[in-house]
Structure 1
Amino acid sequence: MPIHKSVKLNTGAEMPVFGLGTWKSQPGAVEKAVEVALKAGYRHVDTAAAYANEREVGLGIKASGVPREEIFLTTKLNNPDQRNPEAALEASLKALDTPYLDLWLMHWPAPMTTDGKADKGHNWLDTWKSMEKLYQAHPDKLRAIGVSNVSKKFLDELLAIAEVVPAVNQIELHPSCNQQELVEFCVSKGISVTAYSPLGSDASPLLTNPTVEKLAQRHGVSPANILVSLQANRPGVTVLPKSVTPERIVNNMRLVDLTEEEVQELFAIEKTAHFRACHPAWTGWGSIGFADCE
């Protein structure tokens, strides 16, 4: 299963398979992380308004000296901004100091108020319709739109009303949260998938999992390389390892080809070590339909 270098989106654009994730990367560190990553050869950077680090990501891009047109840049619409996505888009463009986004995602299918409560008077599908209008009206600002943390059930609802099929669904993916059915469904609908938390997030038990360690030794790489490579081996999937440590940022670029048997060994970890890294407290609102690892 050879590593692929990019995934062609349903817009025709090429999205680099390997990118830098910035979730939990603090403003003081993320600027340098982005600069180091781009100088090392990364050409895909992911952030979000909710991460409160867009300004620093933009500064890191500038400091790298890499031309903007060589970088695939993604950010996300925050939950409390779903009633006014146009203002949120302009705020993100200003914070990132960029004239356009390569990809803009709805961060969660979960409209919220500014005090962190469910905005029960607003439907997330209406947010998607607003994003479509912005995408159609401003091709100079938006190259593609998509979603994040959206389950198959909710994708069915979205596709039933959508004029624009999402280019990407960004979801948690690692050997303890494979979501293979959702990945296959997305790809079948022309929706690429981006894997966040491919290592299982901070202090992940996957880094010391015997299967992961065995494959790392076999390929002469670190356990982190195996975990990132797993996602890069999956058809239609891009992957976002996160780090602010220069050595790890560079080391994470070492991707290896995995055999089908090795991929299945890694998938099997979920049967005995099932968990997810991202579980905000507010997802206990009820049957919201977020993408999960079950």
Structure 2
Amino acid sequence: MKSATAASTPSALPFIGLGTCCDDADTAERLVLAGLEAGYRLIDTAAHYDSEPAVGAALAAAVDRGVLRRSSEVTVCTKVWFSDMGYDAAIASARRSLERLREERLGLLLIHFPGSPDAVQDPKRNRALRASTWRALEDLQRDGLVRDIGVSNWSRRHLREMLATCRTPPAVLQTELHPRCQQPELREDCDAAGIKVLAHCPLAHGAASLLRDPTLCAVADRVGRSPAQVALRWSVQSGVVPLPHGSSAARLREN
């Protein structure tokens, strides 16, 4: 896919991040702090999750313990939920996220989904919502409240539409990606536009269909690693930043 305007190059991202979806607040704070202690410097959260305040608390605790010199050493990625789409609502959502995260500037802000639940019933309205929400993110970046901006769960159609109309192309696209969901055409489009791909669900939610895959297990046996580690290595060697979730400090270190 050709784009007349190249995407803004995102600030250097770590090769792996830590996902916080589906954690309750106490669990998220504990695991994020453990992740920071293990060396993670990219944390993925969202306005829709319960984890934004927990991420902020974990960052503060990491600074207090000397794990970090300052919280800005970590790139925190958060997202605007579909009920907050639209220019004014997206601005308000970003400001609430800043408050919950105890930050003055967001490292990475994404639009969580390309539309509200009535997308099938009213696609024209959703196109307008995407456009006005993206203008809000562009203005937040211009005003210094956000470092990098991007999108999440966009299809190829949504991405082409955006690149044809936006002032600032997305720096990243986050999507489900793992050896059983490789999305080669979407990745090709992102590569052509200079958009970095982040993978949520890089272990397919721990599905047996992935982690017990015979090929994956054979590779794991040959190199003396776990199937999960091989799957994450596949993401890294594919130029994708995986965002695995971890259920314990030991699993976070393994990942």
- Considering the TM-score relative to the shorter chain, is it more than 0.5? yes
Map of 1:186 onto structure 2: 190
Alpha-carbon separation, structure 1, partners of 2:107 and 2:34: 21
Matches of 2:57 and 2:219 in 1, distance apart?
A: 37
1:72 to 41, 53, 75: 75
Unaligned regions of 5+ residues in structure 1, if any? 1-8, 253-294
Report what 1:31 is aligned to: 29
2:227 matches 1:223: yes
Cα deviation, residue 47, structure 1: 0.5
Question: What is the identity percentage for the equivalent residue pairs of Structure 1 and Structure 2?
Answer: 37
- Correspondence 1:81-92 to 2 at 5 A: 81-83=84-86, 84-92=89-97
User: Which of 233, 239, 242 pairs up with 1:239?
Assistant: 242
Take 1:152 and 1:126, find their aligned partners in 2: how far apart are those partners? 19
Matched, 1:127 2:130: no
SS state of the match for residue 204, structure 2?
A: coil
Cα distance in 1 between the residues matched to 2:191 and 2:73: 25
Amino acid at match of 2:73: E
SS at match of 2:168: coil
Indicate how the Cα distance of structure 1 residues 221 and 36 shifts in structure 2: closer, same or farther if over 3 A, else same: same
Tell me the distance in 2 between the aligned counterparts of 1:21 and 1:199: 11
Q: SS of the counterpart of 1:75?
A: strand
Aligned residue number for residue 205 of structure 1: 209
User: 2:152 matched to 1:148?
Assistant: yes
What is the rounded CA distance, in whole Å, between the counterparts of 1:54 and 1:128 in structure 2?
21
More helix by share: 2
Give the distance between the partners of 2:153 and 2:58, measured in 1 at CA: 27
Asked whether the 8 Å contact 1:111–1:119 carries over to 2, the reply is no
Post-superposition shift, 1:78? 0.8
Q: 2:82 touches 2:115 (CA, 8 Å); kept in 1?
A: yes
SS in 1 for 2:29: helix
Query: What residue identity is the alignment partner of 1:40?
Result: A
Scaled by the length of structure 2, the TM-score of the pair is 0.88
Structure 2: how far apart are the matches of 1:175 and 1:182? 14
Whole-angstrom CA distance in 2 between matches of 1:52 and 1:241: 17
- Report whether the alignment pairs 1:173 with 2:173: no
Q: Which letter maps to 2:238?
A: R
Corresponding position of 1:257: none
Aligned to 1:265: none
Match of 1:45 in 2: 43
Q: Secondary structure, in 3 states, of the residue corresponding to 1:16?
A: coil
State the match for 2:252 in structure 1.
249
Moved over 6 A (4+): 117-120
Paired positions, count: 238
Q: 2:99 aligns with which of 94, 98, 114?
A: 94
* AA of the residue aligned to 1:36: A
1:41-95 Cα offsets, whole Å, 9 max, x none, are: 1111110011121001111122222221211110000110012111101100001
> Shift in Å at residue 225 of structure 1?
0.2
Q: What is the SS of the residue equivalent to 2:109?
A: strand
| SS of alignment partner, residue 201 of structure 1 | helix
Contact 1:186-1:193 within 8 A present in 2 as well: yes
Q: Secondary structure at the match of 2:147?
A: coil
How many Å apart are 1:125 and its aligned residue?
1.8
Contact persistence 1:19–1:240 (CA under 8 A): yes
Letter of the 2:85 counterpart: Q
Partner of 2:4: none
Offset at 1:246? 1.0
Q: 1:10 Cα shift? A: 3.0
- The separation in 2 between residues aligned to 1:198 and 1:12, in whole angstroms, is 21
Equivalent residues of 2:10, 2:148 under 8 A apart: no
TM-score, normalised by the number of residues in structure 1: 0.77
Q: Distance in 1 between matches of 2:22 and 2:122?
A: 23
Displacement after TM superposition at 1:128 (Å): 1.1
